[in-house]
Structure formats: C-alpha cells, structure tokens
Amino acid sequence: MAKLTFFQLLKAGEQQLTAAGQDASAAQYLLLEGQQWTFTTLVQHYREDVPTELTTSYQDQITRICAGEPAQYILGRAPFYGREFRVTPATLIPRQETEELVEWVLSVAKPGLDLLDVGTGSGAIAISLKAERPDWTVTATDISAAAVTVAQQNAQQLQASITFAVGDLLKPVRGQRFDIVVSNPPYIDRAELPVMDDSVKRFEPDSALFADDHGLAFYRRFAAELIAVLRPGGQFFAEIGYHQGAAVREIFALALPTATVTVKTDINGHDRMVRVQLKS
C-alpha cells in the first residue's frame, strides 16, 4: 500500500464521510484528538508520510463513523469545560450546552458549599464544578453502576475528590442535606425519536436520554423531593429541553409555591436551564 501524507489521509477521510452522509469535520477531529495535536501542528505535518499502523487505525475509525458511531466513543474520550473526560456507551457524551449549566452554577454559588450532582454519567458536571471550586464538597450519583465507574475513573484522572454513589435519583443520599443540587436528567420525549440524530439513538444510553410524561417525569420527581434534600435557601439547577421551559417552570411553581423559579436560555436563545431557589 502506497504511503499517504497526513494531508492526503485527512482529505480521503473527509471524502469518505461525505459520501456516507456524515459530517466531514469528524475526519479532522479524529486526527487531531488521536494525535493530541492542534490544527497548527497538523498543518506542520501535512506533507509527512503517515506511519502504516496509524493509517490503518485511522481508516478503521473513519469506517466506524460512516456507520454512525460517534467519534467520542471511538476515541473513548470527549472534551468538556477545558478538560478531557473518558466516555463509554454507558455514559452520555458531554455537550457544549451543559457547559453553560456549569457556568450558571459557578456564577451564582458561594464558597464552601455542599453540592449534589444527580445522574452524573461521566462525571463531567461534578468534576468540573469541583475542579473550579476545590473548597466545595461534591457528591455524585447515578442509577447506572457502569456510569459511576467511568465517573470515578475520570475523577481519579483529573484529581477531583468526589463522593460517588449508585442509586435512583435522591435515594442514595437520603438523610443528607445540600446547598445545591444539579442535574442533567433524561428529558427527551420518545415522540421525538423520528427527528433525533441517528447516532444518538443507536449508540447513547436510552436511560440517560428518555423520560416519561413527554420528557417531564424527572422534573416532577425532583419537584416532589427537593424539600427533603435541599437546605433552606438551597438551589436546584437542571438542564431542560429547548421547548420545555414553560412546562418545567409550572411544575416547580406549583410544587414549591414559595420558591423562585428561573428559566435561562442558552447561547442560541433556546430555553435550556432551570434554577429553583428555595426560600431561606
């Protein structure tokens, strides 16, 4: 097999992805992340021959993406809030919208708080918050033991001291109180399946995506249980679906009439987050 330069390898990957109806930018993403290069470094290597072993593994990765598999699962890692997190099919791939949720928590919270992350997945939210606020005490839970294992590995790799527990919603922390509860719960209505990205449907965990009651089930559960886990004046933050703002606001306003409920838009102007602050 004739040697390819890095430039030729990249272009061949982009063409293969385009022909398969996939996003051609994944070809560059795989090459940069796989080599731990910046784009500038890649350009500097454009005319160099690619080692045969790297050519073979890269072409295998391109073939998997052509079949719909997310690049992050192929690489086994994904960026989030300036750090790299291990991801597996047991965890959602962290997304940019969730970084905005982290920013919101950081912008309104005080020093020395006790925080709980429910449905932690890869641990991206909990670990990012602990890394940014080392004086916080952070606990993270998930109903999936496999996801908690991944989160623990990420916490160890990123040197974040976090307490992890396996269990449904708030059951693992019964009897404990927190200043902040944060969550990126399942919130997709199964009726949205026809318009969802095929790779998400095929590869990301159903249990972390879909919720009953038109995607609102977990917000109703939180609304019923927050009083038992939040301290007076405590705050709950969660990601929501872009069309769920009014419904989520109503759920919390009815269940917690003395609380202040705020829905916040993301960078694209879509309803994306909710904050519920209990009365002190």
Q: How do 83-86 and 77-80 pair as beta strands? A: antiparallel
Sign for the CA dihedral angle at 11, 13, 19, 24 comes to negative
H helices present in 46-95, as ranges: 52-66, 71-75
H helices present in 180-239, as ranges: 198-203, 212-215, 217-229
Q: Does 21 carry a binding-site annotation?
A: no
Q: Does 142 carry a binding-site annotation?
A: yes
At position 250, the amino acid (one-letter code) is E
Q: Does 186 carry a binding-site annotation?
A: yes
Q: Does 120 carry a binding-site annotation?
A: yes
- Residue 4 Cα distances to 11, 138, 236, angstroms: 10, 48, 53
- The 8 Å CB, 24+ separation contacts for 28-31 are 29/71, 30/58, 30/61, 30/62, 30/65, 30/71, 30/74, 30/75, 31/6, 31/58
Q: DSSP letter at 185? A: -
3-state secondary structure of 74: helix
Q: Does 51 carry a binding-site annotation?
A: no
- 65 pairs with which residues across the strands? none
Compute the distance between CA of residue 3 and CA of residue 166 in angstroms, rounded to an integer. 49
Q: Taking Cα atoms as reference points, which of 78, 120, 110 lies closest to residue 96?
A: 78
- 264 pairs with which residues across the strands? 273
Q: Does 187 carry a binding-site annotation?
A: yes
Q: Does 55 carry a binding-site annotation?
A: no
Query: What tokens does 107 get?
Result: 């912008």
Q: How do 77-80 and 114-118 pair as beta strands? A: unpaired
Q: Does 73 carry a binding-site annotation?
A: no
Residues making up the annotated binding site for substrate are 184-187
Residues making up the annotated binding site are 119-123, 142, 184-187
Residues making up the annotated binding site for S-adenosyl-L-methionine are 119-123, 142, 184
